[in-house]
């Protein structure tokens, strides 16, 4: 009977689960996404579940929930200082794909490659979200609790919220976030133990490069928006993790 109804098909499951969850989210009093954000999150969720199943979906959901929660840490103070995220932390369509396009492409690639190449793309998927969660956590914790923030290119103190600024508190929090998400991915069987190390290293490298871009290039080019920088950040995170695994034959 389930086959007749299509419930053995992961895409049918993906569509049903995402419609239900986003329908619930739509009516919650606290909105985490804009209307277009919810629509694009639906597309993202279907693609992820359809390609990687519940494990891949759990990783993206944890990233989204943790990333959204950390955005609201110290939100009143950040809004008063003018350094809070736009729309009081609500994500739009650009935010969704800036954060998740690299991971989605990795997920889709798993349909076309057998193991062990498939496993490299799964690692890239996890590393992409570890990278973005690390970046978001470092930025939001740094803006809320950073005692001193330094411009990454000069290491001179700058105001909190400055593009390209880093803080000890934010850096440690970002590293911790990437470790936790990578550990969860290992526990549920998506990556190997050595994959945890590759994800954390990739997140640190990519987040550092993102800070360098923010300090040197972002203000010089109108097309280099925050969403584009996020996309570059996650692509680097995926590629670094995949490269480390490939070069060390640990896949």
The domain locations on the chain are 1-61, 72-86+114-251
Alpha carbon distance 240, 205 (integer Å): 8
Length of the chain: 251
CB–CB of 174/207 below 8 Å? yes
Q: What is the pLDDT of residue 79?
A: 63
Q: Among residues 199, 212, 211, 208, which one has the least CA distance to residue 239?
A: 199
Q: What is the pLDDT of residue 26?
A: 80
Provide block-wise average pLDDT over 10 residues at a time, the chain (251 residues): 53 90 80 83 94 96 91 70 59 86 97 94 98 94 86 90 88 96 98 97 96 89 90 97 94 74
Task: Write the DSSP string, 192-203.
Answer: -HHHHHHHHHHH
Q: What is the pLDDT of residue 3?
A: 47
Q: What is the pLDDT of residue 33?
A: 81
Q: What is the pLDDT of residue 5?
A: 42
Tokens 């049918």 correspond to 12
Under DSSP, the state recorded for 91 is B
Task: At 70, list the tokens.
Answer: 């950390």
Q: Regarding beta strands 165-167 and 157-158, do their DSSP bridges make them parallel or antiparallel, or are they unpaired?
A: unpaired
SS3 label, residue 68: helix
Q: What is the pLDDT of residue 175?
A: 96
Q: What is the pTM of this model?
A: 0.90
How much is the CA Rg of the chain, to the nearest whole Å? Answer: 18
């Amino acid at each position: 009977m389930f086959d007749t109804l299509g419930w053995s098909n992961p895409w049918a499951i993906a569509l049903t689960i995402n419609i239900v969850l986003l329908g619930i989210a739509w009516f919650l009093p606290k909105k985490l996404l804009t209307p277009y954000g919810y629509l694009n999150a639906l597309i993202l969720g279907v693609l992820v579940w359809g390609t990687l199943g519940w494990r891949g979906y759990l990783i993206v959901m944890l990233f989204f929930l943790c990333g959204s929660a950390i955005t609201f840490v110290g939100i009143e103070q950040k809004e008063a200082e003018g350094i809070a995220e736009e729309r009081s932390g609500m994500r739009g369509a650009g935010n969704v794909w800036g954060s998740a396009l690299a991971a989605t492409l990795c997920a889709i690639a798993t349909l076309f490659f057998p193991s062990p190449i498939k496993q490299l793309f799964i690692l890239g998927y996890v590393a992409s979200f570890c990278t973005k969660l690390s970046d978001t956590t470092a930025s939001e914790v740094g803006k809320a609790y950073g005692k001193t923030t330094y411009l990454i290119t000069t290491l001179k103190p700058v105001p909190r919220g400055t593009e390209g600024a880093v803080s000890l508190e934010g850096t440690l929090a970002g590293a911790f976030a990437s470790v936790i998400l990578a550990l969860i991915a290992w526990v549920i069987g998506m990556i190997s133990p050595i994959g945890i190390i590759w994800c954390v290293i990739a997140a640190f490298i990519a987040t550092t490069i993102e800070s360098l871009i923010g300090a040197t290039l972002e203000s010089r080019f109108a097309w280099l928006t925050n969403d584009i920088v996020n996309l570059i950040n996650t692509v680097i995170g995926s590629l670094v993790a995949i490269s480390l695994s490939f070069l060390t034959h640990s896949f």
